[in-house]
Chains A and B, each alone.
Chain A
């Protein structure tokens, strides 16, 4: 009997409610070397090294404090919160890139962050960066070859001449950002996480990338989107997690949470 309303609930979701990401009392702690306050002299540093244990010149930052939630297939979840509230950290922990201090994250398949910036090299040509970035994301050489033209066309790098054969350090910051997004968006993902990727490039490119994200969303099982732009959260997400100081402050349908959030930020 009690199941009745819940089944109706589930029917609204296009697919059955299969969990894809489960966060269980997740705590993330950063350890920062050499940021201990106090004397910065060499002798002070030496005495810190000699003193074993937690003390040794290491400061800890408790970035995520006991966050729990279950994400289901077909959901697009927005993450909001002020700067430094732990949104990006939470995404990295879900992707398994940051080890958890306490608690666990369970995932279906391999969640991936949308972004390959770190794998690209400014001294290489755009062409080689497309290949390198694709390989870094785990695409095969054949897949990259098949998608290569698509990536270059999407980035629009070659609209103003043959820039793809020039080193990336010669690109304007907007061009480089467009190429990075195009490479990152070339792969299909099970669980996709996007960290403020919408805010790159000029107006035309922004529209194109929003469209591409919608496509990716349809192909992906679950999407997480971190953004400070409430409009793009409204456009893309049907559920929102609100983080504040590393704690989950609210979790619910987009409109409800955003209303509270806008009240909180005084908008």
Chain B
């Protein structure tokens, strides 16, 4: 608008008969007006999102606080919910079905708890992602911000939830005889990579869920199938022993399995490198980068269409 001020005197006479003389597009171009609601370029989009980082963080924390604010025990549920989940799985798979095969109790219980918590991290990011746009249409239709702020914010909320859960994980792991060592530090890069992977997945699901809200009904089944196939309650190469090598490898490079096994490897003494597929770190990095980058671009491509419906 600043460029137009110097020739304002000219524009004065020219802008007046605009309805007859100039087309709307010409008038807009003359005064430097931009199309409202157009999708910004990728670079500008990323900058816009970075500019809203405080909002993303505040929104995720607010969601986290609001989640249990009606409950008597309040934030204690952040830790109690995953712990109860782990107890249920232990009862079914550890006591009744004896899925521990070849693992001692001291290894199996931390194995199970880590599996449940780490998988829940991905699972709830996906579920939150599906509803990130479709469940917040009011926000999308009222305020302006890069829409990616929503799925990213929900993924961040799940990360904070996981950090609470890690307190329980550490307690359980120590309780069953694996003590802190240098290898524990590996947890940090693993969870960072998993967070990137989850965010990418949440972005993809957010775009799909914005177009087809029905996904929210369908996803729990997909996710449960994924959970049973990822070796949350059993060791993949323990239970598949005797199957073809390529089949076991295929099951093991599944991103959920990769991140779970890496955390187990880092924390549990009785869970050695023999349980990991070859090039596991490269695979973990690949999933994170591919899904985060791909998911971000995929989400951005539909930026101007969110909110229709």
**Contact pick for A97, options B33, B34, B38, B144, CB 8 Å:** B144
Whether A107 contacts B34 by the Cβ 8 Å rule is yes
- Across the interface, do A6 and B145 meet the contact criterion of CB distance under 8 Å? no
The one of A9, A21, A99, A132 that contacts B307, using a Cβ cutoff of 8 Å: A99
| A135 in contact with B58 (CB, 8 Å) | yes
Q: Which of A16, A17, A23, A99 contacts B37 (CB 8 A)?
A: A99
With A106-B33, A113-B142, A117-B142: A10-B28 Cβ-Cβ less than 8 Å = no
Which of the candidate stretches B64-72, B108-116, B224-232, B278-286 sits at the interface with the other chain? B64-72
Cα–Cα, bound, A122→B17 (Å): 50
Which B residues lie within 8 Å of A24 (CB)?
A: 23-25, 28
Measured CA separation A122–B67 after assembly (Å): 11
The residue on B at minimum CB distance from A103 is B24
Contact between chains at A19 and B15 (CB < 8 Å): yes
* Interface flag for A51 (CB, 8 Å): no
- Where chain A touches its partner, the secondary structure class is mixed
Select which of B12, B65, B69, B143 is within 8 A of A116 by beta carbon. B143
What is the CA–CA distance of A192 and B139 in the complex, to the nearest angstrom?
Answer: 17
Asked if A44 is at the interface of the complex by the 8 Å CB criterion, the answer is: no
A-side contacts of B25, CB under 8 Å: 24, 104, 106
**CB contact list, B1-49 vs A, under 8 A:** 1, 4-5, 8-9, 11-13, 15-19, 23-25, 27-28, 31-38
- Max chain B CB contacts within 10 Å: which of A10, A94, A118? A118
> B279-309: contact bitstring with A at CB < 8 Å (1 yes, 0 no)?
0000000000000000000000000110111
Interface band, chain B:
35 or more
- Interface pair A9/B15, CB less than 8 Å apart: no
Q: Does B182 sit at the interface, judged by CB under 8 A?
A: no
Nearest CB of A to B212, in Å: 9
B12's partner among A16, A98, A104, A132 (CB-CB below 8 A) is: A16
Q: Cβ of A68 and Cβ of B32 under 8 Å apart?
A: no
Residues of A within 8 A of B307 (CB): 97-99
Contacts of A94 in B (CB 8 A): 36
Contact B308 A31 (CB under 8 A): yes
What's the Cα separation between A122 and B142 when bound, in Å? 17
* Smallest CB gap from B143: residue in A: A136
